Amino acid sequence: MAEVKKLSDGIFEVIKGKKQLATKNLDPGKTVYGEKLIQVEGIEYRTWDPRRSKLGAMILKKFNIPLKEDSKVLYLGGASGTTISHVSDIVSEGAVYAVEFSPRSMRDLIGLASRRKNVYPILADAGKPDSYSHLVEPVDLIFQDVAQPNQAEIAARNAIRFLKKDRYLLLSIKARSIDTVANPKEVFKEEVRKLEKAFEPGFEILNAKDLMPYHEDHLGVVAKLK
C-alpha cells in the first residue's frame, strides 16, 4: 500500500516500494511527460522526476520552497512545461505566468495551459520584462531556468519589476551555458557575485548548492532582493 508524507505545502513524498517526490494532480487521469500516477486514499499523485526538473532536484537537496496553494509565480524558461506542471499542481488556487521564447516549446506549453486554468503562457524574451509588464501582476516567487549567459541580468530585471517585497527568487545556473570550458566552480562563484553586486539593489543569497547527483554542473540558488 502506498503512503504519503507532506514535505511542504503542495509537495509530497509518496512511498510505494521506494520514496518518490510527487504533487497532487490538478488534471486527474492525465500525465504530462510520462511520469507515474499513484492513487492514495482517493487522491491522485503525480510523481516528479528530479532528473528532469531543476526545481524537483532543489527540493530533494533540501532547499526551502516557499510556495502555497494561492501563490503567484513567474516562471522564466518554461520549455515544454515539465516543471511548470508540478508548480501548477502546487499552486492550485494561484497562478503561474510561464514565459518561454521558443515557439516550438510554446506549442507544448499551450497544450498544457489549455488543460490547467492556473497556467498563463507568454511567448516572450525573459530578458525584456517590459514586453509582458502589461500582463503580469506582482508575484510571490520567481523561478528561473533559462540556461543563458546573461541569466543574472534577466533575474535582476524581472525581480525588480515583478517580485513582491521580501519574496524569493529561485534560480538554476548551468555552468556550461556561461562558459563551455571554464571550471564550473569558478563560473558559479562569478555568477553569485554578479547576483550580489552587479545590479542595484542586488540580491542577498540565502542558499546556493549544486544539484548533484540529479543535474551535473548546475547550481541551485535562493535569493532575495536587498
Partner 1 sequence: MKINTWFGVLETDRAGKILESRLLSKDVRELALHSLSLRDNRSDLSPEGFDLKAAALECGFVESSAEYYSLLHKITLEAAKLQVSGALTPDQRIIQAVEALDDVNETTNSLSERLSEWYGGYFPESGLAGEDLSLFIAKYGSRENLDPQDPLYSKARSSMGAKLEPADEVLLKGFAESVCSLYERRRQIETYIENSMELVAPNLKLVAGPMLGARLISLAGSLEKLAEFPSSTIQVIGASKALFKHLRARAPSPKHGIIYSQPLINTAPWWVRGKIARAVASKLSLAARIDFYSGKKDPSLTEKLETKVLLIRTLNPRPPQKKQESGAKPRKKRRK
Ligand X SMILES: C[S@@+](CC[C@H](N)C(=O)[O-])C[C@H]1O[C@@H](n2cnc3c(N)ncnc32)[C@H](O)[C@@H]1O
Contact residues toward ligand X (CB under 6 A) are 53-54, 77, 79, 82-83, 99-102, 105, 125-127, 145-148
The C-alpha cell at 53 is: 526538473
CA pair distance 21, 7, nearest whole angstrom:
9
> Mask 99-128, x = binds partner 1 (CB under 8 A)?
----x--xx-xx--xx--xxxxxxxx----
Least Å distance, CB 82 to partner 1, is 18
Least Å distance, CB 14 to partner 1, is 29
Interface with partner 1 by CB under 8 A: which range of 59-67, 154-162, 190-198, 211-219? Answer: 154-162
Instruction: For cell 533540501, name the residue.
Output: 62
Cα–Cα distances in Å, from 184 out to 16, 74, 171, 188, 210?
A: 36, 27, 16, 6, 10
Least Å distance, CB 49 to partner 1, is 26
Q: Tell me if 209 contacts partner 1 by CB under 8 A.
A: no
Helices (H), 37-164: 54-60, 82-90, 103-115, 151-162
Least Å distance, CB 18 to partner 1, is 37
| Phi-psi domain of 42 (left: phi exceeds 0; alpha: psi -120 through 50; beta: other) | left
Contact residues for partner 1, defined by CB under 8 A: 95, 103, 106-107, 109-110, 113-114, 117-124, 130-138, 160-162, 164
